Structure 1
């Protein structure tokens, strides 16, 4: 649970971060539709005027929540594009392990369940989520695959489709069962084994014949 703080006694950046943290809790606890700016202001212990000063609408506040949450997933993945590692299987295994570590975190699970439960009724939620997270992950992966395709080390007619399929392999049935509450999050050893196995199968399918 987010610790309450006196917004008036914190600096603007701290206030903004605290608002986002409190809003994330509210959205996860009550759902997007049932959460109003008044609800969030009440949780903050301040006025709606202060809240609207930072976020003029609930939609913009939700997008800020998505950006912050998704940034935690993206941060450890950004070094793959600039890596000079020539072993694609090793690169993808490392990428996959870091990706899995992040999507199995509690905050990522909250986001996933919120999008699944309310994305149909509120398309702007799904749009904000994909802008902040999945689209950027695909871009990082696409750039790496493109480097190997341009050098002739892999053969791929549709890099965007291929990047999406690798992410699907990484998440797999295990993540589906986790989000449904059937299985617990895997430990680090299982994450690394899963990522290495997916990378090995995936790369072998892209090698020139």
Structure 2
């Protein structure tokens, strides 16, 4: 491996080198799409951003469309990834949901995430494959995280939930959707107002799921 991450000359890259190159190409492609948009991005521009030969990009992707289909779901799922699941051993469900909600909002308001969502929506008519890949766009992992927390508390008798999947989906919508949509228009609440929104959403959610 050379100092800039390219495979060393004189042989095929090993598995680790190939994986590193793939991540490097993905990161370069994301930067290029963010900077130029889809139409103005070229395979040459992606190669230049990754500091590799154009043939290296074509060896992995047949065209720009294939690059976009690969890197947009990857970027949306990895940027500001959720931390490890908040500690829930003390049974403080409210604190756990506040921590998960805060991470969800942080992800939704990340500048790159906002721009990536805009690009994905703008180009969605060209990429029906995105509908099938929607579960990899970041929220599915968060939904599974919420479901795991709710399941534990429901099994302990603290919650009355008929459908874990839908309940987790509604929780994410309550804490994340409005801030994300406001961000689409360049509107960002103050930290104080955002915390007020999050706290109210969590408390309202808990009033609906706590066992009577």
Per the normalisation by structure 2, the TM-score is: 0.78
Where in structure 2 are the equivalents of 1:10-159 lying within 5 Å?
10-11=4-5, 12=17, 15-32=21-38, 35-53=41-59, 55=61, 58=64, 59=66, 62-76=69-83, 78-80=84-86, 83-159=88-164
Deviation at 1:50, TM superposition (A): 1.6
Q: Distance in 2 between matches of 1:111 and 1:62?
A: 12
Deviation at 1:136, TM superposition (A): 1.2
Deviation at 1:128, TM superposition (A): 3.8
Q: Give the aligned partner of residue 13 of structure 2.
A: none
Aligned partner of 2:193 among 190, 195, 209: 190
Q: Match of 2:96, SS?
A: helix
Q: Give the aligned partner of residue 180 of structure 1.
A: 185
Q: Distance in 2 between matches of 1:41 and 1:162?
A: 44
| Kept in 1: contact 2:109–2:179 (CA 8 A) | no
**2:161 is the counterpart of 1:161:** no
Per the normalisation by structure 1, the TM-score is: 0.79
Q: Distance in 2 between matches of 1:154 and 1:46?
A: 54
The structure-2 alpha-carbon separation of the partners of 1:147 and 1:120, relative to structure 1 and needing over 3 Å to count, comes to: farther
RCO greater where, 1 or 2, for CA within 8 Å and sep 6 or more? 1
Q: How many residues align?
A: 199
Q: Distance in 2 between matches of 1:40 and 1:139?
A: 34
Larger radius of gyration: 2
* Structure 2 unaligned residues grouped into runs of 5+: 6-16
